[in-house]
Chain A
Amino acid sequence: MTLADGIWQQIFTFDHYGELLALVRNSLIAGAALGLVGGLVGVFVIMRDLPFAVHGISELSFAGASAALLMGVNIVAGSIVGSLVAAGTIGLLGSRARDRNSVIGTIMPFGLGLGVLFLALYKGRAANKFGILTGQIVAVDTPQMSWLLGTSAVVLVALAVMWRPLAFASADPEVAEARGVPVRGLSFAFMIVLGLAVALSVQIVGALLVLTLVVTPAAAAARITASPVLLPVLSVVFAVVSIEGGILLALGGSLPISPYVTTISFAIYLVCRALGTRRTRKWGAARATS
């Protein structure tokens, strides 16, 4: 009984909440940016069948971040470099879906291995090590903030410019190519954008759990709508709610942020899935009677 109470208190603690909130102001801002980026990028991750690529890129991002930690340079920059190397490699080598997964499966363990090596060599605070893998909230200081927000802006502008042809190329590549859409160029450009988005997510939720921000919200939204406007909007709302909710719940305790974020994100997905089953039935019925 007392043990259970102790665990419960570790998970949900709200002492001195006001003072703590001030400490994570930066994280809340970064979280909002991240939710926006993750929610939007996720739409294409699902359409282009890239969840495994997201996982692969995040492991290389982890290697980059741990190398940066070891060398004492900016961790966000290190994580971005790792991400871009992975995303570029996948984009160049695995242009066809069939090759892609084996390329990712080959790169991923190597990245993870490098990351483990760098962390083992690192003699600093243990919390720093753990944070890269499972996420952290108070780690976002001001220079990191400018990196995070700057990269988010780059991703958002790139997505705004290529949104429509990218959606066309993702849904129907043959017809898109016939209509003059640069399908291959867009494919590579999207991998780079995805690399940047993953590097951002690694900062908050950690390398192991990037999928919860870049895949789950979009997958949940896709269950309940196919509207080209509503889908990205809902995906962003789900991603922002998951991450901000996660930060606020994790604040009082001493646990990493990721279990909170992943739980909220997963709960949203389950609700959407249940709603989506009803919708699918409705469409079937509507067409049967028409």
Chain B
Amino acid sequence: MADDTVADDDTALISLRGAALSYGERVLWQGLDLDVRPGEFLAVLGPNGAGKTSFVRALLGQRQLSAGTLKVLGRPPRKGSRHVGYVPQQATLSAQAMLRARDLVRFGIDGHRFGPRPRTGAVRRRVDEVLASVGATAYADVPVGLLSGGERQRVRIGQALVTDPRILLCDEPLLSLDLHHQRAVTELVDARRRSHGTAVVFVTHEINPVLGLVDRVLYLARGGYRVGTPDEVLTSEALSQLYGTQVDVIRVRDRVTVVAVPDEAAQEPHHPELPHGVRP
């Protein structure tokens, strides 16, 4: 691949200037200025339909911005870069996939290559190494169809990391995982960015599992956005301004709950831990 040379370590790995994305008339977000540095953990929050997944697709080179510029590793995003790892929600993995966990990891190395590709010792060792690093050695030879959701996500993180990417994009990787596996998955991602300086962009509808780990939050809503540390963004004042109506952010110990989110957001609650009766 031609992208083996990338920009210096000090510069931002992801850089957006005046970026906007819209579907026809509907503007998802606009005027977005953002730099993501090596080793940074950025959580992308917001109600359903705010353009969180579209943000990831833009970073993957699958969607064009409608305005502004986006640079990933110093150049416009390109499909299939080995420097960008991707982990979507676990349900997108086919239950009929007749593959073992180790085969899925190997796809991260050469799954996109056409033509017969014999298995080499180096490939096998790398796959074993990655499986061990995500704690999946015990079920390396189990068909993925028989794995639990949490086990699959561990394997997929291994797959995303097998090429040693400099950016890891996660789109709702915790969806339908139990608390134990949510913690395991977030810890893997966090360990990776600390050990290798991988920048993490983590889309989630639920901030609490990653609240203690994130450096900054990108909150998308109502065609606008807020960027900053969780303490700056997850406040009643900041979110009220973003939504253009009164929103209350309640902090109980180390958990955050957003209440009284109006219309569009209220129809599809983006903070499902919200107790019943508190919702507007």
| Interface residues in chain A, defined as those with a beta carbon under 8 Å from any beta carbon in chain B | 43, 46-49, 160-165, 167-168, 170-181, 222, 226-228, 231, 280, 283-284, 286-287, 290
Verify A178–B80 contact, CB threshold 8 A.
Answer: yes
Is B113 within 8 A of A165, CB to CB?
Answer: yes
Q: Is the interface of A mostly helix, strand, loop or mixed?
A: helix
Query: Are B96 and A46 in touch, CB under 8 angstroms?
Result: yes
B100–A179 contact, CB under 8 A? no
Inter-chain contact A174/B88, CB cutoff 8 Å: yes
Number of B residues near A (Cβ < 8 Å) is 40
CB of A160 within 8 A of CB of B116, answer yes
Q: Please list 10 pairs of residues, one from A and one from B, whose beta carbons are closer than 8 Å in the complex, sorted by A's number.
A: A47-B98, A49-B96, A175-B107, A175-B160, A178-B80, A181-B112, A226-B103, A283-B139, A283-B142, A286-B142
Which residues of chain A are near B62, meaning CB under 8 Å? 177-178
CA distance A178 to B60 in the complex (A): 6
The chain B residue sitting closest to A284, CB to CB, is B146
B-chain residues with CB within 8 Å of residue A231 when the two chains form the complex: 98
* B143 interfacial by beta-carbon distance below 8 Å: yes
Report A50 CB to chain B, min CB distance, Å: 10
Residue B2 CB within 8 A of the other chain: no
The answer to whether A175 and B86 touch (CB under 8 A), given A49-B96, A228-B103, is yes
CA distance A174 to B107 in the complex (A): 13
Chain B residues lying within 8 Å of A283, measured Cβ to Cβ, are 139, 142-143, 146
Q: Which of A47, A173, A287 contacts B139 (CB 8 A)?
A: A287
B156 lies within 8 A of chain A by Cβ: yes
Interface flags for B3-27 (1: CB within 8 Å of A; 0: not) read: 0000000000000000000000000
CA distance A32 to B108 in the complex (A): 35
Given contact pairs A175-B156, A175-B159, A176-B107, A161 touches B97 in the complex (Cβ within 8 A): no
CB neighbours of A162 from chain B (8 A) = 114
Q: Are B111 and A168 in contact (CB under 8 A)?
A: yes
CA distance A170 to B97 in the complex (A): 7
Taking A171-B93, A175-B156 as given, write out 13 further A-B residue pairs in contact, using a Cβ cutoff of 8 Å, ordered by the A residue number: A161-B114, A163-B116, A164-B114, A171-B104, A172-B97, A174-B88, A175-B87, A180-B79, A226-B99, A227-B100, A280-B146, A283-B142, A287-B138
CA distance A197 to B159 in the complex (A): 33
* Shortest distance between the CB of A176 and any CB in chain B (Å): 7
Interface 1/0 per residue, B220-242 and A, CB below 8 Å: 00000000000000000000000
**In angstroms, how far is the closest chain B Cβ from the Cβ of A9?**
42
Considering the complex, give the chain B residue whose CB is closest to the CB of A218: B98
Q: Chain A's nearest CB lies how many Å from the CB of B210?
A: 21
Q: Is B92 an interface residue (CB 8 A)?
A: yes
Using CB atoms, name the residue of chain B closest to A226. Answer: B143
Whole-angstrom distance between the alpha carbons of A156 and B148 in the complex?
A: 35
Q: In the complex, how many angstroms separate the beta carbon of A172 from the nearest chain B beta carbon?
A: 5
B129 interfacial contact with A, CB 8 Å? no
Q: Residue B277 at the A interface, CB < 8 A?
A: no
CB contact between B92 and one of A163, A165, A174, A287 (< 8 Å): that residue = A174
